[in-house]
Structure 1
Amino acid sequence: MTAVLVEEGPDKGAIWHFGEPNKEQKALVAGDAFAQLINKSVITITGEDRLTWMHALTTQHLEKLNPGEWKEALILDAQGHVEEQLFLVDDGSILWIHTEKERAAGLVNYLEKMKFMLRVDVKDVSDEFAVLRAPGKADSVGGPYALVPRTELADTIEAFKQSHSEVGMWALEAERVAAGRARLLFETDHKSIPNELGFLNTAVHMNKGCYRGQETVAKVFNLGQPPRRLVLLHMDGSMVA
């Protein structure tokens, strides 16, 4: 099948579908598909302080992150609004992050400003590594993910194709929406706070130390009344005359 590309928006240039989006979605749900996440950038953080540093900067508990364990995290502004959404995994020496491509430069710039005297080094390695949605049923962070050197990307894709079908963003987005996982630049705006989007106890750890924006998150959580709330609507397609 010929790939249909996304023509505009944050996913511009990514594969939209291969001509049979419903079939692709079923394969993805069954764990029998993979996808190229062309719309994602890859950032690495090295250095002894990488986990404690990102623990302090984000909403997630990362101090004792186990190697190979994927986590979702947010960076908030001082008023608790969502600024960045990160997906992270540590391999024991490098903390790997993938995020929306159009947010990568701003994220790297922010992290560079927050280094101070800490032993960390931040680098955008998107030209060297790609992100794939690997075969397998979806996990809590939208994976399983595979970070692949671009020199091995073609061979990895061909290996996946031997026993799995390739799908596009249409199938990925349908799976994400059905699971209720909010996405930066799609369900968020400049006023969004984590309490509105289902991020609590997923991207936001509720029992960790202070981070920027925590006061808003805690206050709204204790009051139990977020200004807005993301909900899932199921429409069956029928019409009443």
Structure 2
Amino acid sequence: MTDAFAQHFGNPLAEQRALAAGRALAPLGDRRVLAATGPDRLTWLDSITSQALTALQPGESTELLVLDPQGRVEHAAGVIDDGETTWLLVDAPDADPLLTWLQRMRFRAAVELRPADEYAVIGAVGTGAVPGQLVAAPHDVPLVWHDPWPGVTAGGWGYAPADPHPGAAWEWVEAIVPTGAWSELAERAEPGALAGLLAADALRVAAWRPRRSAEVDERTIPHEVDWLRTAVHLAKGCYRGQETVAKVHNLGHPPRRLVLLHLDGSDSVLPVHGDAVRAGDSEVGVVTSAVRHYEDGPIALALVRRSTPADADLVVDADGTAIGAAQEVIVPADAGATASVPRIPRLGSARRTPQESQ
């Protein structure tokens, strides 16, 4: 039986290449599935999350965020509906907390919630990489979630200035499969046909794709990691945290911004989540994800202060080693403030003509 939590299957860099080319599958033991049934499931989820879901069609993919009243990210999930059930794909450590929160929020809604642990998740690049016979389809709709990243979905907004976006080739899918499919996959897999979690994460980081279990801390708002792009509908009805989302996007700037760091690999040391990022003598942020990419070498995602100059030479403190880092802008310092608010002249700022005074 294959280990769904395997970091690699012997050669992480070769696994990345195979995964990126659509020749390998990645068992994602770090993802879990939740199920919501009942006639109110989509309208109810729409009312309590950041995404517009009332018109979600069977087989269509999207993602949502649960925000706190101050607009900070608490939970995140990929979403696919099959006409009978809404399936939520969630980072494993967040699955039980999200389920508990959703159950508390049901009130009188006709919704039933449960952990769908009879299913597991397999990741791939491109739908064709996943054998159709492995994919669950309990209501005749194949449960394959197409990651909307890095497109800007209806009602969304992208901050990243890069064109084309580095995630343009991401084309990530996550297939919901019966848990027994992992054993079948291991038995049938040819050498090099499986990729570990390290490979999947390296491709994600190179695509600038935020993740709940990595880029989110107790202060994160969606704007800081460019998550308005795919997980927030700016024109939908009220939901918890919406005021902050609108205020920062229209009038303000996110206090931090996500950057990609190209790391100096001379010391063969890779930072870990939480390592400090410095500009000169000042600590300006933290590493959220760090990987060795098969083409780009050692790279990392980091959250830094908005005021950190885009051309600043940065250093990462990693286990006593100072690693030089060049930053690539993902969320620019001027992100937000999109509303055209007319300036109102101050009283007395305009001189009155003699004719106006008469």
From the superposition, tell whether residues 32 and 152 of structure 1 become closer, same or farther in structure 2 (CA, over 3 Å): closer
**Secondary structure of the equivalent of 2:114?**
strand
Q: Which of 1 and 2 has greater Rg?
A: 2
- Aligned position for 1:196: 224
Does 2:25 match 1:34? Answer: yes
Q: Displaced runs of 4+ in structure 1, greater than 4 A?
A: 156-159, 236-240
* Paired residue type of 2:257: R
**Secondary structure of the equivalent of 2:249?**
helix
- Aligned position for 2:179: 150
- Aligned position for 2:99: 108
- Aligned position for 1:87: 78
What does the per-residue CA deviation read over 1:26-71, in whole Å, with 9 as the maximum and x for residues that have no partner?
A: 1111121111111112110000011111111111111111211221
From the superposition, tell whether residues 227 and 19 of structure 1 become closer, same or farther in structure 2 (CA, over 3 Å): same
The partner residue of 1:98 within 89, 93, 96 is 89
1:46-195 superposed matches below 5 A: 46-126=37-117, 128-134=118-124, 136=126, 139-141=147-149, 143-159=172-188, 161=189, 165-195=193-223
* Paired residue type of 1:114: M
Does 2:257 match 1:229? Answer: yes
The answer to whether the Cα contact below 8 Å between 2:20 and 2:125 also exists between their aligned partners in 1 is no
**Secondary structure of the equivalent of 1:105?**
helix
Deviation at 1:201, TM superposition (A): 2.6
What is the Cα-based RMSD across aligned positions, in Å?
Answer: 2.4
User: For residues 93 and 76 of structure 2, what CA distance do their matches in structure 1 show?
Assistant: 12
**Secondary structure of the equivalent of 2:247?**
helix
**Secondary structure of the equivalent of 2:202?**
helix
- Aligned position for 2:36: 45
Deviation at 1:181, TM superposition (A): 1.0
User: For residues 231 and 71 of structure 2, what CA distance do their matches in structure 1 show?
Assistant: 14
The TM-score with structure 1 as length reference comes to 0.86
The answer to whether the Cα contact below 8 Å between 2:61 and 2:148 also exists between their aligned partners in 1 is no
* Paired residue type of 2:122: L
* Paired residue type of 1:53: W
User: For residues 58 and 143 of structure 1, what CA distance do their matches in structure 2 show?
Assistant: 23
The answer to whether the Cα contact below 8 Å between 2:93 and 2:213 also exists between their aligned partners in 1 is no
**Secondary structure of the equivalent of 2:258?**
coil
Aligned-pair identity (%): 45
Deviation at 1:162, TM superposition (A): 5.1
Deviation at 1:134, TM superposition (A): 3.7
User: For residues 100 and 139 of structure 1, what CA distance do their matches in structure 2 show?
Assistant: 14
**Secondary structure of the equivalent of 1:14?**
coil
Deviation at 1:157, TM superposition (A): 4.9
User: Where in structure 2 are there 5+ consecutive unaligned residues?
Assistant: 128-145, 150-170, 268-323, 325-358
Question: Per residue, is there more helix in 1 or in 2?
Answer: 1
- Aligned position for 1:18: 9
Deviation at 1:150, TM superposition (A): 2.0
Question: Per residue, is there more strand in 1 or in 2?
Answer: 2
- Aligned position for 1:9: none
User: For residues 51 and 191 of structure 2, what CA distance do their matches in structure 1 show?
Assistant: 35
Higher relative contact order (CA 8 A, sep 6+): 1
What does the per-residue CA deviation read over 1:61-104, in whole Å, with 9 as the maximum and x for residues that have no partner?
A: 11111211221111000000100010111011000111122212
**Secondary structure of the equivalent of 1:56?**
helix
The answer to whether the Cα contact below 8 Å between 1:131 and 1:146 also exists between their aligned partners in 2 is yes
From the superposition, tell whether residues 71 and 172 of structure 1 become closer, same or farther in structure 2 (CA, over 3 Å): same
* Paired residue type of 2:119: F
User: For residues 80 and 185 of structure 2, what CA distance do their matches in structure 1 show?
Assistant: 20
Deviation at 1:179, TM superposition (A): 0.9
What does the per-residue CA deviation read over 1:204-238, in whole Å, with 9 as the maximum and x for residues that have no partner?
A: 11221111001111111112411001111234647
Deviation at 1:165, TM superposition (A): 1.0
From the superposition, tell whether residues 152 and 29 of structure 1 become closer, same or farther in structure 2 (CA, over 3 Å): closer
User: For residues 194 and 235 of structure 1, what CA distance do their matches in structure 2 show?
Assistant: 25
